[in-house]
Amino acid sequence: MSQADVTIVTPTRNRPPLLERALDSIARQTFQNYEVYVVDDGSSAEHADAYRAIVGRRDARFHLLQPLQPGQTGSGPGVSRNRGMEAGHGRYIAFLDDDDTWTWDDHLKSAIEVLDPTGVDLYCADMQGFSGDVLVFESWFPDSRPLLSGERVRADPPAYRTTRAAFVKAASHRVVHPNMLVVRRQLVERTGGFLNSLRYAEDTEFVLRLADSTPAVLFCPKPVARYRLPEGNAHSLSMSRTFQELQTLAAAQHLRITARSPEVRQAARGIESWTLRLLSEAVKRDGRPGAAVALALQALVVKPTLGAVAQVARAMLPRRGATPQK
């Protein structure tokens, strides 16, 4: 086989049964010229052996990248995805987390068929969210109409050339997960991979940074992936809510400082302001009214809105049941 057209990156840690299901969904893809890099982020020795067996049963397109020492502290999905991207050579890069599956066997075929002739660098499809076997989100985008307003570049399955502004607006309402993307490698090389410093919100920052460097995105409204909402041993559930918000704040601030397009800068300000308001609420509940007011004022400065003004007012009000200061 010639060099793979698509590098597929799957980060994983201590979840062999889920990984097997994810790899099965990759193997069902009708587009076959791909390579898969399963990146083990420090699984225990027992699970590391299981991973070697799972990948070893598959053909030569499937590769396993393991850490030097089993059980080492995990570095997070962003670092793992970077390892996989750097190891691969495909013209395009796709992602599938170990606890998710691709549900449309033509996902890669559909993407390549519109990316190649149009020259667009970024393709995004829809996704569904599940809690166990219960469908929670039938579509990942609460309102996909802006994404469907651009030029229709293919009739069946439909694909639209949507503007950066429309894509960023959609990405601001619900995080565009890497499972939904096929990205031209040259775009990743221009913009850089995931931020190694982030263990949460790394996907938000990465996707908006990609959008910042491309004027258009190809959107396919067909759901291509089944996303497992956080439960059980999900990576995000290992972190406190405050840690998640601080990581989101760092991601938004990095974007606001580095983005060149007004659409991405505006989106970054919105995420930063909203996260500061959440932190203001949290520290007020902890009995730190001064810090609550300071964070609320920061949120107002970053993005002046009626909601931000209301947050300042709430931060200044005494907590219910609090003892008045003399």
**Cα–Cα distance measured from residue 123 to residue 158, given in angstroms and rounded to the nearest whole number:** 12
Domains contained in the chain, number: 2
291 and 201 inside one domain: no
Strand locations in 25-166 (E): 34-40, 62-65, 92-95, 101-102, 122-131, 134-137, 151-154, 159-163
175-204 exposure pattern, b = at least 16 Cβ within 10 A, e = fewer: ebbbbbbbbbbebbeebebbbeebbbbbbb
pLDDT attached to residue 153? 97
Rounded Cα distance between 52 and 118, Å, is: 39
Residue 325, in any domain of the structure: no
Q: Is the peptide bond before 318 cis (omega within 30 degrees of 0)?
A: no
What is the spatial distance between Cα 278 and Cα 3, in angstroms, rounded to a whole number? 47
| 69 and 194 assigned to the same domain | yes
Q: Supply the CATH number for residue 218's domain.
A: 3.90.550.10
Q: What is the pLDDT of residue 325?
A: 38
pLDDT score for 73: 64
Q: Give the structural domain span for 72.
A: 6-239
Contact 62/34 with Cβ under 8 angstroms? no
- Digit-coded pLDDT (tens) for 102-158: 999 999 999 999 999 999 999 999 999 999 999 999 999 988 888 999 999 999 999
Examine the domain organization and report whether 169 and 272 are in the same domain.
Answer: no
In a domain, 54, yes or no: yes
- Regarding whether 138 and 232 lie in a shared domain, the answer is yes
What does the alpha-carbon distance between residue 37 and residue 88 come to, in Å, rounded to a whole number?
7
Residues 143 and 267 in one domain: no
In 3D space, the residue among 318, 307, 321 whose CA is nearest the CA of residue 278 turns out to be: 307
Greater pLDDT, 325 or 46: 46
Residues 83 and 179 grouped into a single domain: yes
Whether 323 maps to a domain, the answer reads no
Q: Which residues contact 153 (CB under 8 A, 6 or more apart)?
A: 114, 118, 159, 160, 161, 218
By C-alpha distance, which of 115, 109, 124 is closest to 32?
109
The answer to whether residues 162 and 294 belong to one domain is: no
When the pLDDT of each residue in the chain is averaged and rounded to a whole number, the result is: 92
Q: What percent of the chain has pLDDT over 90?
A: 84
Is pLDDT above 80 for 321? no
pTM of the model: 0.92
pLDDT at 324: 32
Element (H, E) at 9: strand 6-12
Choose the final residue of a domain: 186, 217, 239. Answer: 239
pLDDT tens profile 155-209 = 999 999 999 999 999 888 888 999 999 999 999 999 999 999 999 999 999 999 9
Token readout for 279 is 């932190």
Q: Of 88, 4, 104, which Cα lies nearest the Cα of 38? A: 88
Q: Which residues contact 124 (CB under 8 A, 6 or more apart)?
A: 167, 176, 180, 181, 217, 218, 219, 220
Residue 230: per-residue pLDDT: 79
The letter for the amino acid at 311 is Q
Contact 115, 29 (CB under 8 A): no
The token duo for 33 is 């010229």
Rg of the Cα trace of the chain?
21
Amino acid at 209: R
Instruction: Report d(CA 214, CA 221) in Å as an integer.
Output: 20
Which is nearest to 267 in space by CA: 197, 170, 178?
A: 170
Q: Is 161 a member of any domain?
A: yes
